[in-house]
Structure 1
Amino acid sequence: MNDQSDSKHGKTAPLDLSRILPYLNNNETAIVPGGANRIKRQLEEAAQEEDEALVHDPSSVMLRVRGITESVRFGPERATVVVGRVDLGSLPHPDIDLVPLGGIERGVSRRHARLELVSDHLYLTDLNSANGTFVNGNRLDSYTPTLLHNGDEVMLGRLAVSIVFV
């Protein structure tokens, strides 16, 4: 095909096969329903999703809970933050205490989940909490890191938290 407009099919563009070839063995042929345009669209969507998962400034992660914004500071000396609720009778305490935001009433565990910044990507791990951790409605398996994206809705027990990369 060419790069020109075609009244039947619309505008066409060359496909950059270098982005697809690493996923195929040397002797494989891929037949993809929808053809090259579908592959191109999927690659563009994956690139956009990757950008939404990128934390550009480690000091710019915010947790928004019930209209209150809590800044989370990551840096070379602090790549991991534990969120939960403080219980004066038990140690260790979480780095971010959700008691003032309704953590006890909404079923947040003492050490509910861990936020971890790895190579400019933010991961959330449920720490075997009693009432679970959910990202956009999907329950996380305990001790399995999940990549977060800007704007994700997280439920710690029944406490709703929005993740914002500023």
Structure 2
Amino acid sequence: MCRWKVFDEPPSKSFEIYGTTAIGRSRRHADLLFHLGEEDSPISRLHCTLLDEDDHFSIRDEDSSNGTSVNGKKLTPLQPVRLHDGDIVDIAPLERGGLRLMFQLARLDGEERQQEQEVRMTRPRNLMNPDEE
């Protein structure tokens, strides 16, 4: 399990992610939605995907129009990059209205780890929509 901390929406929000999650602005294409329904948004319908790869998480830009960056380095489309605790991810450039997120690994004790495994097996595809909180 990991957490995303969103910096660009005062007050900042944190939310948990369980497993591979598509990120974008379209309910049809993504699990985690930002700028829902905004056609002029710099965030693509399917912008990037957070990949749960058993022992680590990676992020892959899905050939989005405005790109995804990790710690200031723009990702090559469709090439996953491993994420580390504290990495800063920009979903589209901030100056164009993109979002800045911090990737955080969740620290789990034994009971929480068991619960996470149970959630992974039964989790819904649409994990959270920050626009509807």
Structure 1 equivalent of residue 75 of structure 2: 140
Determine whether 1:98 maps to 2:69: no
Shift of 1:93: 2.9
What runs of 5+ residues in structure 1 fail to find an aligned partner? 1-58, 75-79
Give the greater-gyration-radius structure (CA).
1
Shift of 1:86: 2.1
Cα distance in structure 2, aligned partners of 1:148 and 1:115: 9
Aligned length: 96
Give the direction of change, closer, same or farther, for the CA distance of 1:106–1:154 in structure 2 (3 Å limit): farther
Shift of 1:105: 6.8
Taking structure 1 as the reference length, the TM-score comes to: 0.53
Cα distance in structure 1, aligned partners of 2:23 and 2:15: 11
Cα distance in structure 2, aligned partners of 1:162 and 1:98: 15
Determine whether 1:62 maps to 2:3: yes
Higher relative contact order (CA 8 A, sep 6+): 2
Determine whether 1:155 maps to 2:80: no
Residue by residue over 1:18-67, the C-alpha shift from the partner in whole angstroms, topping out at 9 and shown as x without a partner, is xxxxxxxxxxxxxxxxxxxxxxxxxxxxxxxxxxxxxxxxx3x1111131
Shift of 1:70: 2.0
Structure 2 equivalent of residue 126 of structure 1: 61
What runs of 5+ residues in structure 2 fail to find an aligned partner? 93-97, 107-133
Secondary structure of the corresponding residue to residue 47 of structure 2: strand
Preserved CA contact (<8 Å) 1:81 1:116: yes
Q: Pick the aligned partner of 1:81 from 2, 7, 21.
A: 21
Alignment-mate amino acid for residue 85 of structure 2: N
Taking structure 2 as the reference length, the TM-score comes to: 0.66
Shift of 1:104: 6.6
Alignment-mate amino acid for residue 70 of structure 2: V
Cα distance in structure 1, aligned partners of 2:61 and 2:48: 4
Preserved CA contact (<8 Å) 1:106 1:159: no
Shift of 1:159: 1.1
Q: Report runs of 4+ in structure 1 exceeding 6 Å deviation.
A: none
Q: Pick the aligned partner of 1:72 from 6, 12, 17.
A: 17
Cα distance in structure 2, aligned partners of 1:69 and 1:153: 14
Shift of 1:134: 0.2
Q: Percent identity?
A: 29
RMSD: 1.9
Preserved CA contact (<8 Å) 1:107 1:159: no
